[in-house]
Structure 1
Amino acid sequence: MGEVEIQALRGVDLDLYAGELTVMLGASGSGKSTLLNILGGLDRASGGEVRYRDQDLTRARDRVLTDFRRRHVGFVFQFYNLIASLTARENVALVTEISPAPMRPEEALDLVGLGDRLDHFPSQLSGGEQQRVAIARAVAKRPAVLLCDEPTGALDSRTGVRVLQVLQQVNRDLGTTTAVITHNAVIGDMADRVIRLADGQVQDIQINAARRDPAELQW
């Protein structure tokens, strides 16, 4: 910012493991969204190293990062980013048409419990249903990694529980490495690991012996 340099992340050193569900906890400004964007190839780190399996993404060209995002990563954001003029099926098809080995849109929507809402437009769906369409769109390309930025932030607790159950089911059924960032500490109980961030640094990593169903969490 002009002459002022702000370090969003400082000395972060961590691994995400295949098939695990990780929750990254932190207050606003802790660096969690920046970390997620770097992991997903949306932002570049100004220092350090970022690796995906045997691929070095640190200084990868834009074309390489685009291919990485297209083939390997699914994104779910706080706001659903659905196209209002397209049905749920058509919103998901936007991704399946450019992916090498996708699910059928109908299969992805059935996975998130919306098999009976295929031809509804976003305006005909509740907030939770729209977020589940967004999840279906993200997982339809069968990504190895699913990155979720405050996926329940715009939802009430009851609807949020349903969305978190869908994410847990996707992680379990597809074996997708899933990282959810949130400021809500309660959500950490559904994860294999909880990574706490503060002031751009990893403050603590906690391993959960057993994941809990989101419906059991005390909101």
Structure 2
Amino acid sequence: MVRLRGVSKRYQMGATVVHALRGVDLDLLAGELLVLLGPSGSGKSTLLNILGGLDVPTEGELTYGDHDLTGAGPDELTEYRRRHVGFVFQFYNLIPSLTAVENVRLVTDISEHPMDAAAALDLVGLSERLHHYPAQLSGGEQQRVAIARAVAKQPQLLLCDEPTGALDVKTGVLVLEALHRVNRELGSSTAIITHNEAIGSMADRVVRLRDGRIASVERNATPAPPSDIAW
């Protein structure tokens, strides 16, 4: 689905050069659920941003299917994000004046082959909350609206940056169950950034990063359902 080869990313911070990624090789496979683990500053978010076309490598190659995105310009990356990528962040970024279904329709109205907004909310267990405003929803429900909004355009790639970071354990399980269901039922290749080691048990593969490098890759023979995660 997505291939990175020799990907490095450097940022200039005044007189200091920050090496966010150092020669990363990674394949994100079609339909898999990948968990990216590592401490703050290990390069997880930079890696996710490059996978999603929000940032570009300083060095190395990035391909999506048969498309070489290594030298892609802003317009090509915008088209890549719009057509193929869904994003879920730690903070929900819902529009307060719109209902849940209206927030999801923001995406479906501009997508080529969207899912019905109500169907997307049903997929994440919110069929009874279609017409509720964000202020009327719990944090976990708002995050599930954000997931529905991301998946409503039926992306091939779903990228999640600390989606349970602002939630308690019980609510976090509900959010992970929603992501797990989307991955299994829609077949979207899913990458989840987290600090929580336990979440790795639900992944097909766990990639650990340290100092901008991949420290290890582990495969779970039998990924655990989110409800069985030992938090």
Q: Same fold (TM over 0.5)?
A: yes
Alpha-carbon separation, structure 2, partners of 1:112 and 1:14: 29
TM-score, length-scaled by structure 2: 0.94
The reply to whether residue 9 of structure 1 matches residue 21 of structure 2 is yes
SS in 2 for 1:194: strand
The reply to whether residue 136 of structure 1 matches residue 148 of structure 2 is yes
Alpha-carbon separation, structure 1, partners of 2:63 and 2:196: 28
Q: Which structure's residues are more often strand, by fraction?
A: 2
Alpha-carbon separation, structure 2, partners of 1:80 and 1:177: 21
Alpha-carbon separation, structure 1, partners of 2:178 and 2:130: 17
Counterpart residue type for residue 121 of structure 1 = Y
The reply to whether residue 95 of structure 1 matches residue 107 of structure 2 is yes
Partner of 1:127: 139
Partner of 1:58: 70
Per-residue deviation at 1:187?
Answer: 0.2
Counterpart residue type for residue 75 of structure 2 = R
Per-residue CA deviation, residues 188-216 of structure 1 (Å, 9 max, x unaligned), is 00000000000000000000000101111
Counterpart residue type for residue 32 of structure 1 = K
Structure 2 gap ranges (5+)? 1-12
Provide the identity percentage. 67
Alpha-carbon separation, structure 1, partners of 2:130 and 2:70: 39
Per-residue CA deviation, residues 100-154 of structure 1 (Å, 9 max, x unaligned), is 0001110100110111101100000000000000000000000000000000000
Partner of 1:196: 208
The reply to whether residue 217 of structure 1 matches residue 229 of structure 2 is yes
TM-score, length-scaled by structure 1: 0.99
The reply to whether residue 23 of structure 1 matches residue 30 of structure 2 is no
Alpha-carbon separation, structure 2, partners of 1:29 and 1:85: 35
Counterpart residue type for residue 118 of structure 1 = L
Partner of 2:159: 147
Counterpart residue type for residue 63 of structure 2 = R
Bigger shift: residues 208-217 or 131-140 = 208-217
Alpha-carbon separation, structure 1, partners of 2:93 and 2:167: 15
Counterpart residue type for residue 89 of structure 2 = F
Partner of 1:78: 90
Partner of 1:173: 185
Partner of 2:4: none
> How many pairs were matched up?
219
User: Which 4+ stretches in 1 moved above 6 angstroms?
Assistant: none
Candidates 161, 183, 189, aligned match of 2:195: 183
